[in-house]
A and B are shown apart, each in its own frame.
Chain A
Amino acid sequence: MSRYLLLTVLTLFSHSLLAATPIIEIEIRDHLFYPAEITIPADTKIKLIIINTDNAAEEFESYEMNREKVIPAGSKGVVFIGPLRAGEYPFFGEFFPKTAQGKVIVK
Protein backbone atom coordinates (compact mmCIF):
# COMPACT_ATOMS: atom_id res chain seq x y z
CA MET A 1 0.00 0.00 0.00
CA SER A 2 2.66 2.48 1.08
CA ARG A 3 4.71 1.49 -1.95
CA TYR A 4 1.82 2.37 -4.23
CA LEU A 5 1.39 5.63 -2.41
CA LEU A 6 5.07 6.43 -2.84
CA LEU A 7 4.86 5.55 -6.52
CA THR A 8 1.83 7.82 -6.95
CA VAL A 9 3.53 10.70 -5.17
CA LEU A 10 6.69 10.26 -7.21
CA THR A 11 4.73 10.11 -10.44
CA LEU A 12 2.89 13.31 -9.56
CA PHE A 13 6.06 15.16 -8.67
CA SER A 14 8.17 13.89 -11.54
CA HIS A 15 5.43 14.98 -13.89
CA SER A 16 5.53 18.55 -12.66
CA LEU A 17 9.32 18.61 -12.41
CA LEU A 18 10.33 16.92 -15.64
CA ALA A 19 7.68 18.23 -18.03
CA ALA A 20 8.86 21.81 -18.47
CA THR A 21 5.92 24.09 -19.19
CA PRO A 22 6.13 25.58 -22.71
CA ILE A 23 6.42 29.36 -22.70
CA ILE A 24 4.74 31.68 -25.22
CA GLU A 25 5.32 35.42 -25.30
CA ILE A 26 2.64 37.91 -26.31
CA GLU A 27 3.39 41.59 -26.69
CA ILE A 28 0.91 44.43 -26.20
CA ARG A 29 1.80 47.38 -28.44
CA ASP A 30 -0.50 50.30 -29.33
CA HIS A 31 -3.33 48.38 -27.58
CA LEU A 32 -2.94 45.39 -29.92
CA PHE A 33 -1.73 41.86 -29.21
CA TYR A 34 1.30 40.51 -31.11
CA PRO A 35 0.72 37.77 -32.06
CA ALA A 36 -3.06 38.06 -31.88
CA GLU A 37 -3.45 34.32 -32.47
CA ILE A 38 -1.48 31.57 -30.86
CA THR A 39 -1.82 27.85 -31.46
CA ILE A 40 -1.17 25.42 -28.64
CA PRO A 41 -1.59 21.65 -28.26
CA ALA A 42 -4.64 20.27 -26.44
CA ASP A 43 -4.32 19.05 -22.84
CA THR A 44 -1.16 21.04 -22.24
CA LYS A 45 -0.37 23.68 -19.69
CA ILE A 46 1.22 26.80 -21.17
CA LYS A 47 2.96 29.71 -19.49
CA LEU A 48 2.07 32.97 -21.22
CA ILE A 49 4.40 35.88 -20.69
CA ILE A 50 2.57 39.05 -21.61
CA ILE A 51 4.76 42.07 -22.22
CA ASN A 52 3.03 45.45 -22.19
CA THR A 53 5.10 48.09 -24.00
CA ASP A 54 2.31 50.71 -23.88
CA ASN A 55 2.13 53.62 -21.45
CA ALA A 56 -1.23 52.41 -20.16
CA ALA A 57 -2.03 49.33 -18.10
CA GLU A 58 -3.99 46.61 -19.84
CA GLU A 59 -6.06 43.78 -18.43
CA PHE A 60 -5.59 40.46 -20.16
CA GLU A 61 -8.98 38.81 -19.94
CA SER A 62 -10.67 35.69 -21.26
CA TYR A 63 -14.09 34.46 -20.19
CA GLU A 64 -13.56 31.19 -22.03
CA MET A 65 -10.28 30.44 -20.24
CA ASN A 66 -11.30 32.13 -16.95
CA ARG A 67 -8.28 34.37 -16.93
CA GLU A 68 -7.99 37.99 -15.81
CA LYS A 69 -4.79 39.86 -15.06
CA VAL A 70 -3.68 43.47 -15.05
CA ILE A 71 -0.43 43.93 -16.99
CA PRO A 72 1.06 47.23 -15.78
CA ALA A 73 2.33 49.82 -18.29
CA GLY A 74 5.85 49.04 -19.48
CA SER A 75 5.88 45.78 -17.56
CA LYS A 76 5.15 42.11 -18.00
CA GLY A 77 3.03 39.45 -16.39
CA VAL A 78 2.75 35.70 -16.27
CA VAL A 79 -0.54 33.89 -16.91
CA PHE A 80 -0.81 30.10 -16.93
CA ILE A 81 -3.42 28.67 -19.31
CA GLY A 82 -4.55 25.13 -19.98
CA PRO A 83 -4.80 22.23 -20.09
CA LEU A 84 -7.58 23.01 -22.57
CA ARG A 85 -9.68 20.90 -24.91
CA ALA A 86 -9.44 21.50 -28.68
CA GLY A 87 -11.26 24.63 -29.79
CA GLU A 88 -10.93 28.40 -29.93
CA TYR A 89 -10.60 30.54 -26.84
CA PRO A 90 -10.86 34.30 -27.42
CA PHE A 91 -9.03 36.74 -25.17
CA PHE A 92 -9.05 40.53 -25.08
CA GLY A 93 -7.66 43.56 -23.32
CA GLU A 94 -10.42 44.71 -21.03
CA PHE A 95 -9.13 48.27 -20.80
CA PHE A 96 -8.92 48.72 -24.60
CA PRO A 97 -11.35 46.08 -25.90
CA LYS A 98 -11.97 47.77 -29.27
CA THR A 99 -8.48 46.98 -30.50
CA ALA A 100 -6.93 44.47 -28.12
CA GLN A 101 -8.45 41.19 -29.31
CA GLY A 102 -6.91 37.79 -29.82
CA LYS A 103 -7.48 34.08 -29.51
CA VAL A 104 -5.86 30.87 -28.47
CA ILE A 105 -6.38 28.02 -30.93
CA VAL A 106 -6.11 24.65 -29.25
CA LYS A 107 -5.44 21.66 -31.56
Chain B
Amino acid sequence: MLLNAVIIILREVIEASLLISIFMAFCQTYNVSRRWLILALAIGLSTAALYAVNISIVSQWLDGVGQEVINASIHIMVYLVLLVFLTLAMTIKTGRNRPLIMLVMLIGVTFASIREGSEIILYIHGFVGIPELLPPVLMGGVIGAGIGLSVGVLFYYLLVNLSSKHGAQLGILLCLCVAGGMILQATQLLSQADWIASQYPLWDTSMWINERSVIGQLLYALVGYEATPMPIQVISYISALSLMIMSAAFSYIHSSRPQS
Protein backbone atom coordinates (compact mmCIF):
# COMPACT_ATOMS: atom_id res chain seq x y z
CA MET B 1 0.00 0.00 0.00
CA LEU B 2 2.90 2.32 0.81
CA LEU B 3 4.59 1.86 -2.57
CA ASN B 4 1.27 2.22 -4.34
CA ALA B 5 0.67 5.54 -2.57
CA VAL B 6 4.17 6.74 -3.45
CA ILE B 7 3.59 6.05 -7.15
CA ILE B 8 0.07 7.51 -7.30
CA ILE B 9 1.02 10.74 -5.55
CA LEU B 10 4.34 11.03 -7.41
CA ARG B 11 2.59 10.70 -10.75
CA GLU B 12 0.15 13.47 -9.85
CA VAL B 13 2.68 15.82 -8.26
CA ILE B 14 5.39 15.49 -10.92
CA GLU B 15 3.34 17.05 -13.73
CA ALA B 16 2.38 20.15 -11.77
CA SER B 17 5.86 20.31 -10.25
CA LEU B 18 7.51 20.29 -13.66
CA LEU B 19 5.20 22.99 -14.99
CA ILE B 20 5.88 25.18 -11.96
CA SER B 21 9.65 24.67 -12.21
CA ILE B 22 9.67 25.70 -15.89
CA PHE B 23 7.73 28.88 -15.05
CA MET B 24 9.78 29.65 -11.93
CA ALA B 25 13.06 29.25 -13.82
CA PHE B 26 11.71 31.52 -16.55
CA CYS B 27 10.80 34.18 -13.96
CA GLN B 28 14.22 33.88 -12.32
CA THR B 29 16.12 34.14 -15.60
CA TYR B 30 14.14 37.07 -17.02
CA ASN B 31 13.43 38.88 -13.76
CA VAL B 32 9.66 38.44 -13.83
CA SER B 33 7.72 38.68 -10.54
CA ARG B 34 6.79 35.30 -9.00
CA ARG B 35 4.03 36.53 -6.72
CA TRP B 36 1.37 35.03 -9.00
CA LEU B 37 2.38 31.50 -7.94
CA ILE B 38 0.83 31.73 -4.45
CA LEU B 39 -2.41 33.04 -5.95
CA ALA B 40 -2.45 30.28 -8.59
CA LEU B 41 -1.89 27.55 -5.98
CA ALA B 42 -4.49 29.04 -3.62
CA ILE B 43 -7.18 29.25 -6.32
CA GLY B 44 -6.16 25.92 -7.86
CA LEU B 45 -6.09 23.87 -4.67
CA SER B 46 -9.30 25.32 -3.23
CA THR B 47 -11.06 24.63 -6.54
CA ALA B 48 -9.54 21.13 -6.46
CA ALA B 49 -11.12 20.56 -3.02
CA LEU B 50 -14.49 21.80 -4.30
CA TYR B 51 -14.19 19.56 -7.37
CA ALA B 52 -13.29 16.51 -5.24
CA VAL B 53 -16.22 17.10 -2.85
CA ASN B 54 -18.66 17.36 -5.77
CA ILE B 55 -17.13 14.60 -7.89
CA SER B 56 -20.26 12.39 -7.66
CA ILE B 57 -22.40 15.17 -9.14
CA VAL B 58 -19.86 16.01 -11.83
CA SER B 59 -19.61 12.31 -12.75
CA GLN B 60 -23.31 12.21 -13.59
CA TRP B 61 -23.16 15.18 -15.96
CA LEU B 62 -23.36 14.60 -19.73
CA ASP B 63 -24.78 11.07 -19.39
CA GLY B 64 -22.11 9.94 -16.96
CA VAL B 65 -19.01 11.29 -18.67
CA GLY B 66 -18.84 14.74 -17.04
CA GLN B 67 -15.60 13.85 -15.28
CA GLU B 68 -13.86 12.90 -18.54
CA VAL B 69 -15.04 16.01 -20.36
CA ILE B 70 -13.99 18.38 -17.56
CA ASN B 71 -10.62 16.69 -17.10
CA ALA B 72 -9.98 16.66 -20.85
CA SER B 73 -10.86 20.38 -20.96
CA ILE B 74 -8.36 21.05 -18.17
CA HIS B 75 -5.66 19.17 -20.09
CA ILE B 76 -6.44 21.10 -23.27
CA MET B 77 -6.39 24.36 -21.28
CA VAL B 78 -2.91 23.57 -19.91
CA TYR B 79 -1.78 22.76 -23.47
CA LEU B 80 -3.12 26.12 -24.71
CA VAL B 81 -1.39 27.87 -21.80
CA LEU B 82 1.92 26.27 -22.81
CA LEU B 83 1.34 27.20 -26.46
CA VAL B 84 0.70 30.86 -25.57
CA PHE B 85 3.46 30.89 -22.95
CA LEU B 86 6.11 29.58 -25.34
CA THR B 87 5.01 32.00 -28.05
CA LEU B 88 5.10 35.00 -25.70
CA ALA B 89 8.32 33.84 -23.99
CA MET B 90 10.10 34.27 -27.33
CA THR B 91 9.36 38.01 -27.13
CA ILE B 92 10.60 38.42 -23.54
CA LYS B 93 13.68 40.44 -24.54
CA THR B 94 11.48 43.08 -26.17
CA GLY B 95 10.04 43.82 -22.71
CA ARG B 96 6.49 43.66 -24.03
CA ASN B 97 3.87 41.11 -22.91
CA ARG B 98 5.25 40.68 -19.37
CA PRO B 99 1.89 41.09 -17.57
CA LEU B 100 0.30 38.77 -20.13
CA ILE B 101 2.96 36.10 -19.57
CA MET B 102 2.33 36.29 -15.83
CA LEU B 103 -1.40 35.88 -16.37
CA VAL B 104 -0.82 32.89 -18.65
CA MET B 105 1.47 31.22 -16.08
CA LEU B 106 -1.11 31.87 -13.36
CA ILE B 107 -3.86 30.21 -15.42
CA GLY B 108 -1.61 27.25 -16.23
CA VAL B 109 -0.63 26.49 -12.63
CA THR B 110 -4.22 27.04 -11.46
CA PHE B 111 -5.60 24.44 -13.88
CA ALA B 112 -2.77 21.97 -13.30
CA SER B 113 -3.32 22.13 -9.54
CA ILE B 114 -7.09 21.65 -9.91
CA ARG B 115 -6.53 18.46 -11.89
CA GLU B 116 -3.72 16.96 -9.83
CA GLY B 117 -4.98 18.28 -6.49
CA SER B 118 -8.48 16.84 -6.84
CA GLU B 119 -7.12 13.40 -7.71
CA ILE B 120 -4.86 13.43 -4.63
CA ILE B 121 -7.70 14.59 -2.34
CA LEU B 122 -10.01 11.85 -3.66
CA TYR B 123 -7.37 9.19 -3.18
CA ILE B 124 -6.33 10.18 0.36
CA HIS B 125 -9.90 10.85 1.45
CA GLY B 126 -10.88 7.25 0.71
CA PHE B 127 -8.52 6.04 3.43
CA VAL B 128 -9.77 8.33 6.19
CA GLY B 129 -12.29 5.66 7.20
CA ILE B 130 -9.69 2.86 7.16
CA PRO B 131 -7.45 3.50 10.22
CA GLU B 132 -5.03 0.63 9.52
CA LEU B 133 -4.27 1.84 5.98
CA LEU B 134 -4.26 5.61 6.53
CA PRO B 135 -0.73 5.88 8.04
CA PRO B 136 1.06 3.99 5.21
CA VAL B 137 -0.96 5.92 2.61
CA LEU B 138 -0.07 9.27 4.20
CA MET B 139 3.55 8.22 4.56
CA GLY B 140 3.63 7.07 0.92
CA GLY B 141 1.94 10.30 -0.11
CA VAL B 142 4.56 12.41 1.63
CA ILE B 143 7.38 10.41 0.03
CA GLY B 144 5.73 10.59 -3.41
CA ALA B 145 5.14 14.33 -3.10
CA GLY B 146 8.72 14.75 -1.86
CA ILE B 147 10.17 12.95 -4.88
CA GLY B 148 7.86 14.86 -7.25
CA LEU B 149 8.86 18.22 -5.78
CA SER B 150 12.55 17.24 -5.81
CA VAL B 151 12.36 16.48 -9.53
CA GLY B 152 10.84 19.95 -10.00
CA VAL B 153 13.59 21.58 -7.92
CA LEU B 154 16.24 19.64 -9.83
CA PHE B 155 14.92 20.86 -13.19
CA TYR B 156 14.60 24.39 -11.80
CA TYR B 157 18.28 24.57 -10.83
CA LEU B 158 19.28 22.89 -14.07
CA LEU B 159 17.32 25.47 -16.09
CA VAL B 160 18.61 28.42 -14.06
CA ASN B 161 22.26 27.35 -14.04
CA LEU B 162 22.68 26.26 -17.63
CA SER B 163 23.99 28.85 -20.10
CA SER B 164 21.11 30.99 -21.36
CA LYS B 165 21.17 29.18 -24.71
CA HIS B 166 21.06 25.66 -23.27
CA GLY B 167 18.65 26.69 -20.52
CA ALA B 168 16.25 28.02 -23.14
CA GLN B 169 16.62 24.83 -25.20
CA LEU B 170 15.89 22.60 -22.22
CA GLY B 171 12.99 24.86 -21.18
CA ILE B 172 11.42 24.60 -24.63
CA LEU B 173 11.91 20.83 -24.63
CA LEU B 174 10.22 20.50 -21.23
CA CYS B 175 7.31 22.70 -22.38
CA LEU B 176 6.85 20.40 -25.38
CA CYS B 177 7.03 17.26 -23.18
CA VAL B 178 4.38 18.50 -20.76
CA ALA B 179 2.20 19.83 -23.60
CA GLY B 180 2.37 16.50 -25.46
CA GLY B 181 1.34 14.65 -22.29
CA MET B 182 -1.66 16.96 -21.90
CA ILE B 183 -2.88 16.30 -25.46
CA LEU B 184 -2.43 12.55 -25.09
CA GLN B 185 -4.42 12.44 -21.85
CA ALA B 186 -7.15 14.65 -23.30
CA THR B 187 -7.65 12.38 -26.33
CA GLN B 188 -7.65 9.28 -24.11
CA LEU B 189 -10.35 10.78 -21.86
CA LEU B 190 -12.49 11.87 -24.80
CA SER B 191 -12.33 8.38 -26.30
CA GLN B 192 -13.23 6.88 -22.91
CA ALA B 193 -16.25 9.21 -22.87
CA ASP B 194 -17.09 8.13 -26.44
CA TRP B 195 -16.86 11.75 -27.58
CA ILE B 196 -14.24 10.63 -30.09
CA ALA B 197 -14.52 7.15 -31.59
CA SER B 198 -12.18 4.60 -30.05
CA GLN B 199 -9.69 3.11 -32.50
CA TYR B 200 -7.39 0.09 -32.57
CA PRO B 201 -3.88 0.96 -31.38
CA LEU B 202 -1.36 2.02 -34.00
CA TRP B 203 1.45 0.08 -32.32
CA ASP B 204 2.26 -1.75 -29.10
CA THR B 205 5.53 -1.01 -27.31
CA SER B 206 4.49 -2.61 -24.01
CA MET B 207 7.12 -5.36 -24.39
CA TRP B 208 9.86 -2.70 -24.35
CA ILE B 209 8.50 -0.27 -21.80
CA ASN B 210 5.47 -1.48 -19.92
CA GLU B 211 3.17 1.25 -18.64
CA ARG B 212 2.99 -0.60 -15.32
CA SER B 213 6.73 -0.27 -14.72
CA VAL B 214 8.17 2.66 -12.78
CA ILE B 215 9.93 3.88 -15.96
CA GLY B 216 6.64 3.61 -17.84
CA GLN B 217 4.79 5.56 -15.15
CA LEU B 218 7.45 8.28 -15.08
CA LEU B 219 7.50 8.56 -18.87
CA TYR B 220 3.70 8.76 -18.80
CA ALA B 221 3.91 11.69 -16.39
CA LEU B 222 6.76 13.41 -18.24
CA VAL B 223 5.94 12.97 -21.92
CA GLY B 224 2.55 11.22 -21.92
CA TYR B 225 4.04 7.81 -22.78
CA GLU B 226 1.41 5.44 -24.09
CA ALA B 227 2.35 1.88 -25.10
CA THR B 228 -0.70 1.38 -27.31
CA PRO B 229 -1.72 4.76 -28.76
CA MET B 230 -4.64 5.17 -31.11
CA PRO B 231 -3.93 6.78 -34.52
CA ILE B 232 -5.91 9.86 -33.48
CA GLN B 233 -3.69 10.25 -30.41
CA VAL B 234 -0.49 10.10 -32.46
CA ILE B 235 -1.90 12.59 -34.99
CA SER B 236 -3.08 14.97 -32.24
CA TYR B 237 0.26 14.70 -30.42
CA ILE B 238 2.31 15.51 -33.53
CA SER B 239 -0.05 18.29 -34.69
CA ALA B 240 -0.20 19.91 -31.26
CA LEU B 241 3.58 19.94 -30.87
CA SER B 242 4.14 21.12 -34.47
CA LEU B 243 1.75 24.01 -33.84
CA MET B 244 3.71 24.96 -30.71
CA ILE B 245 7.08 24.82 -32.49
CA MET B 246 5.82 26.84 -35.45
CA SER B 247 4.12 29.42 -33.28
CA ALA B 248 7.23 29.85 -31.11
CA ALA B 249 9.54 30.03 -34.15
CA PHE B 250 7.34 32.61 -35.83
CA SER B 251 7.20 34.68 -32.67
CA TYR B 252 10.98 34.46 -32.21
CA ILE B 253 11.77 35.52 -35.78
CA HIS B 254 9.18 38.29 -35.62
CA SER B 255 10.43 39.74 -32.31
CA SER B 256 14.14 39.57 -33.15
CA ARG B 257 13.60 41.56 -36.34
CA PRO B 258 14.66 45.18 -35.74
CA GLN B 259 11.61 47.35 -35.11
CA SER B 260 11.19 50.15 -37.62
Contacts and interface: CB of A to CB of B under 8 A. Distances in A.
B212 A63 contact: yes
Most buried by A among B59, B119, B126, B193: B126
A36 interface: no
Given A57-B123, A72-B56, A75-B56, A80 B198 contact: yes
Interface string B116-148: 000100110111011000000000000000000
Contacts of A71: 59
B229 to A, nearest CB: 8
Interface string A67-88: 1111111111111111101000
Contacts of A49: 64
Given A75-B59, A79-B192, A45 B198 contact: yes
A72 B129 CA distance: 14
B198 A83 contact: yes
A79 B210 CA distance: 23
Contacts of B123: 57, 59, 95
A58 B123 CA distance: 8
B198 A78 contact: no
Contact of A69 (B68, B126, B211, B226): B68
A52 B68 CA distance: 17
Nearest to B62: A78
Contacts of A45: 194, 198
B222 to A, nearest CB: 17
A55 interface: yes
A80 to B, nearest CB: 4
A71 B167 CA distance: 41
A100 B230 CA distance: 27
B211 A95 contact: no
Given A45-B198, A49-B64, A95 B126 contact: yes
A76 B226 contact: no
Most buried by B among A72, A82, A94, A95: A72
Contacts of B211: 63
Contacts of A77: 59, 64, 67
A3 interface: no
Contacts of B119: 70
Interface in B183-233: 188, 191-194, 198, 200, 206, 210-212, 226-228, 230
Given A78-B63, A80-B193, A57 B125 contact: yes
Given A56-B125, A57-B125, A77-B64, 4 more contacts: A56-B127, A57-B126, A83-B198, A94-B8
For the complex of A and B, the 4 pairs showing the least CB-CB separation, nearest first, are: A56-B126, A78-B64, A75-B56, A80-B194
28 contacts: A21-B194, A47-B194, A55-B126, A56-B126, A56-B127, A57-B55, A57-B125, A58-B126, A59-B123, A63-B206, A63-B210, A63-B212, A63-B227, A66-B188, A66-B192, A68-B192, A70-B119, A72-B55, A75-B60, A76-B64, A77-B67, A78-B64, A80-B192, A80-B193, A80-B194, A83-B200, A95-B8, A97-B4
Interface of A: 21, 45, 47, 49, 55-59, 63-64, 66-83, 85, 94-95, 97-98
